[in-house]
């Protein structure tokens, strides 16, 4: 952890009405690494990502991206920062009135001056990487959940971003499909070398991919540790989380033993 | 105690509406600014919207225009006959259409047909995170989604109004002259004599303003569906906000009609 973090959240607080969801988030994300944010559902994990993306302004606290304060940026700077981001939304957020091809081509068409021929080349390359050849002309509604996520991932990666955010990439998929998403993720990350921030509760599988695991509990990041240290941490909340999510196996062993 | 609650409630409501109004004005300014920022403008986006908002509304405009003109011919003829001035039928039909009924009714029809579609489309895009996705891709939704719709509506409205007027005038001709037997010559000559540039100009200004009102209110309502007081979530949220947008637009058209008329007369 000797390098400077590329994303830093300092004491982020955010509430909706009387409900205080984030109570002082401190988190650093390092270049080229995969950071996984785990925690119970509905406790603000996706909210953290939305803060980093600048979609939501915190009530107090600071977000630094590449060393710059996100909330003091002009619209133009924010736009530039976002051009380094790729996002896979929870429900993929595909443009449902466009075909798969147009969905993936959109960032290229709107943000670059590439010719249609080049765009087709780049889009097909990304779709191939996701094993999606042959569905170019389909509409999102005609795809299965796993395919939709892969299209979303292709769209997130098409501009070769430096940081990619995954908001629950495997939620709602069966085991085989979610393994497939992980494989695609692993393959693309080794190939493209991006920094990944994953929000997930697919424990323990997600530990295999993570360089760092952060637990969000009670509106606070309890700790951000490499997976091995995470599983043996002394923090009571992390212990509880690890036991709750992975403990069943031990328990049954106890019974069997 | 009750008084305090009442004050609290009305204050909350007042703040909410001030907030809403402020958001809508900022939204409008944002769209206007991004419309005139020029990098990578896609003409195909605008023509597509003109097709959806303008061309596809022609049928309904022709239909309502014809019947409006026809009923004007019928009513006008029977009223004017009492004073023996059926000869003025042409000017009566044309003036009421060009000054008032054309812009207002065309705008109301477009609100129902295209305005509701704009609001629902954008509302669904907001609710399914598609607008967030655009922002994350550093594509400004004001420019990419809103600007083409604004341009298309403002271009289409005067044209649709013109079609409405012409069809209406011939509808009046059909009933007044062909059916009821007013003189054909005086129908048109009275019209040529009485309709002045001022009248056409007024109708044109109105149709532009109504076009802006329609797309502004409907797009902004859809865009800010998640800020709705009554809860703007899911399909029901979108349907509620669409209804609200159509009602608000229709009312605003009638209110603005009065003020524009009083300013231009």
Q: Could you tell me if residue B11 is inside a domain?
A: no
Q: Could you tell me if residue B37 is inside a domain?
A: no
**Considering only CB atoms, which chain A residues are within 8 Å of B124?**
96
Confidence band, pLDDT 50/70/90 cuts, at residue B254: very high
Provide the number of structural domains found in chain B: 1
Residue B40: its pLDDT value, please? 60
Q: Could you tell me if residue B21 is inside a domain?
A: no
Residue B219: its pLDDT value, please? 95
Task: Provide the domain limits for residue B132.
Answer: 42-264
Interchain contact A57–B (C-beta under 8 A): no
Q: Could you tell me if residue B82 is inside a domain?
A: yes
Which residues of B, range 45-64, sit inside 8 Å of A by Cβ? none
Which residue ranges in chain A fall short of pLDDT 50? Answer: 1, 249-250, 256-257
Residue of B133, B134, B235 to mutate, testing the A interface (most A Cβ within 10 Å of its Cβ): B133
Which residues of A, range 87-146, sit inside 8 Å of B by Cβ? 87, 89-91, 93-97, 106-107, 109-111, 113
Residue B39: its pLDDT value, please? 66
Shortest CA distance from B131: residue in chain A = A93
Contact B136 A55 (CB under 8 A): yes
Q: Could you tell me if residue B7 is inside a domain?
A: no
Strand-pair category, A212-217 with A34-39: parallel
Whole-number Å distance between alpha carbons of B142 and B236: 24
Give me the phi and psi of A220, to 5 degrees please: -135, 140
Residue A1: its pLDDT value, please? 46
Nearest Cα of chain B lies from the Cα of A53 at a distance, in angstroms, of 7
Residue B154: its pLDDT value, please? 94
Closest CA to A112 of B143, B146, B49, B139: B139
Q: What is the ipTM of this complex?
A: 0.75
Residue A78: its pLDDT value, please? 84
What is the average pLDDT across B9-25? 92
Cβ–Cβ pairs < 8 A, chains A and B: 54
Q: Could you tell me if residue B115 is inside a domain?
A: yes
Strand-pair category, A195-199 with A163-167: parallel
- What's domain A1-84+195-257's superfamily in CATH? P-loop containing nucleotide triphosphate hydrolases (3.40.50.300)
Interchain contact A43–B (C-beta under 8 A): no
Find the CB nearest B136 among A80, A87, A91. Answer: A87
Q: For residue range B199-245, what is the model confidence (pLDDT) as tens digits?
A: 999 999 999 999 999 999 999 999 998 887 776 677 888 999 999 99
Whole-number Å distance between alpha carbons of B97 and B104: 9
Which residues of B, range 83-142, sit inside 8 Å of A by Cβ? 121, 124-125, 128-130, 132-133, 135-140
Contact A82 B137 (CB under 8 A): yes
Instruction: Tell me: pLDDT of B83 over 60.
Output: yes
Confidence band, pLDDT 50/70/90 cuts, at residue B61: very high
What is the average pLDDT across B132-139? 83
Residue A224: its pLDDT value, please? 87
Residue B41: its pLDDT value, please? 65
The string of DSSP letters for A137-185 reads: T--GGGS-HHHHHHHHHHHHHTT--SEEEEESTTTT--HHHHHHHHHHH
The domains of chain A are located at: 1-84+195-257
Residue of B127, B137, B141, B226 to mutate, testing the A interface (most A Cβ within 10 Å of its Cβ): B137
Secondary structure class of A217 (helix, strand, coil): strand
């Amino acid at each position: 952890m000797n390098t400077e973090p590329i994303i830093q959240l300092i004491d982020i607080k955010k509430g909706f009405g009387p409900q205080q969801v984030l109570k002082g988030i401190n988190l650093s994300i390092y270049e080229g690494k995969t950071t996984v944010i785990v925690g119970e559902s509905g406790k603000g994990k996706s909210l953290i990502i939305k803060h980093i993306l600048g979609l939501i302004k915190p009530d107090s606290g600071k977000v630094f991206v590449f060393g710059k304060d996100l909330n003091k940026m002009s619209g133009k700077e924010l736009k530039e920062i976002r051009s380094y981001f790729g996002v896979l939304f929870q429900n993929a957020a595909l443009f449902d009135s466009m075909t798969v091809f147009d969905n993936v081509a959109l960032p290229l068409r709107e943000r670059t001056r590439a010719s249609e021929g080049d765009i087709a080349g780049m889009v097909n390359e990304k779709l191939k990487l996701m094993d999606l050849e042959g569905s170019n002309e389909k509409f999102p509604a005609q795809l299965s959940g796993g395919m939709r996520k892969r299209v979303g991932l292709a769209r997130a990666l098409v501009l070769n971003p430096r940081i990619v955010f995954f908001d629950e990439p495997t939620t709602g998929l069966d085991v085989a499909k979610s393994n497939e998403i992980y494989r695609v993720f692993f393959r693309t990350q080794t190939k493209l070398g991006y920094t990944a921030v994953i929000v997930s509760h697919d424990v323990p599988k997600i530990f295999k991919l993570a360089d760092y695991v952060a637990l969000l509990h009670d509106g606070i990041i309890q700790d951000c540790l490499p997976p091995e240290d995470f599983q043996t941490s002394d923090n009571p909340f992390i212990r509880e989380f690890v036991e709750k999510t992975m403990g069943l196996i031990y328990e049954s062993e106890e019974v069997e033993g | 105690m009750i008084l305090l609650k009442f004050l609290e409630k009305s204050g909350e409501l007042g703040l909410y509406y001030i907030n809403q109004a402020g958001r809508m004005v900022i939204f409008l300014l944002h769209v206007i600014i991004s419309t005139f920022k020029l990098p990578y403008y896609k003409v195909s986006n605008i023509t597509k919207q003109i097709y959806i908002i303008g061309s596809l509304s022609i049928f309904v405009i022709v239909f309502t225009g014809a019947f409006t003109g026809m009923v004007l011919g019928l009513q006008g003829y029977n009223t004017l006959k009492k004073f023996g001035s059926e000869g003025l039928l042409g000017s009566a039909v044309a003036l009421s259409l060009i000054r008032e009924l054309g812009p207002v009714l065309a705008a109301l029809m477009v609100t129902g047909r295209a305005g509701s579609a704009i609001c629902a489309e954008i509302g669904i895009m907001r609710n399914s995170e598609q607008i967030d996705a655009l922002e994350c891709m550093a594509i400004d939704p004001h420019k990419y989604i809103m600007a083409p719709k604004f341009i298309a509506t403002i271009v289409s409205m005067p044209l649709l109004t013109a079609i409405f007027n012409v069809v209406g005038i011939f509808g009046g001709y059909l009933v007044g002259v062909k059916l009821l037997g007013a003189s054909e010559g005086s129908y048109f000559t009275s019209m040529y004599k009485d309709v002045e540039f001022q009248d056409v100009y007024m109708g044109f200004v109105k149709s532009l303003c109504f076009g802006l009102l329609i797309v502004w209110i409907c797009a902004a309502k859809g865009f800010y569906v998640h800020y709705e007081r009554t809860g703007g979530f899911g399909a029901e949220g979108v349907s509620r906000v669409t209804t609200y947008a159509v009602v608000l637009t229709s009312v605003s058209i009638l209110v603005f009609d009065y003020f524009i008329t009083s300013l231009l007369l």
